[in-house]
Structure 1
């Protein structure tokens, strides 16, 4: 039976952070993950595939390159924003983060849902679990959909690499533990949708990830 689960990656903003569309074509519902810039491409893609209602806007963490487009996202979809509790402080200083890169940003919309480890994220009929993966930031998360084997990793895991731990709030030891935990507790064939760059798989990252050299 063909899956009704749909996903796509849309690089946004000056740092080309992936805005991710996850949708269920059978219910016409979708969520957006990490709105770091102009999300027009993501919304056009969702509409093209019959996805009509955005039910949630999820942030994998609170760094500016993943949240700068949230005002537009809320305006266009009227969907609630979700973020892990330990990155609320980062989120609330978004205008200050922006200034460090010569950008101007107004205070962002209010976070409506505070996420914790093992909370559920729903995409139509599909259920994902929130995995708290600190290291890149205190409140970084991954989201794992056991079926259809999709792992959203934010800036915790990339294709062939892992996120930086040098920014304020980063922690190399925690990042390594987070990456190893995710890779060892998800199905090898699971597709990784990262915060930057192209997709990968759990099995590939278990073989090639730089985490083993940290």
Structure 2
């Protein structure tokens, strides 16, 4: 299996990757094909595909914020079961993030991720790919060590319509497993920067950011 970075929509594997994204995620979570051009050319955004026998069978997107000392896993998708794709993506991502942190001379605090609450996302079939079932995904993140940030979370939809998506939880994977809370200012600063690319922000998201900024710390809860 090959860990292949995609930096252009002209990449021969990008069309297959985008189709896989549309299979796995609901429409409001998938950026339109042409709108991927600029993000893929951004050197701080890392999009990798797992290539098996010439086919895109999985992918992960992530970024590292040296000024905040945190990473973000945008997504991890698996197109076929029983190939070890999840572990392959995890280990390669870990190595790459360690390299990025080293190059910036920083020590990471941890990594953010969004994960579906299966009780709120049951209507999504997730393409019928069993590893992408929201119950499975949530348990996998729990096994890795992610914790749920105690926050009524919403985010702006990636279809650029400005809808509030409220079926996910914001989670954090702390470097220190004993860490039980996270600075609210860090969460707010991360979210404002992360969603700066979306022009339309729902009122629910704006209110959530205000509430986060007003808090001192946010508890990290079991996922």
Flag whether TM exceeds 0.5 (same fold).
Answer: no
Higher relative contact order, structure no. (Cα contacts within 8 Å, ≥ 6 residues apart)? 2
Larger radius of gyration, structure 1 or 2? 2
> TM-score scaled to structure 2, two decimals?
0.32
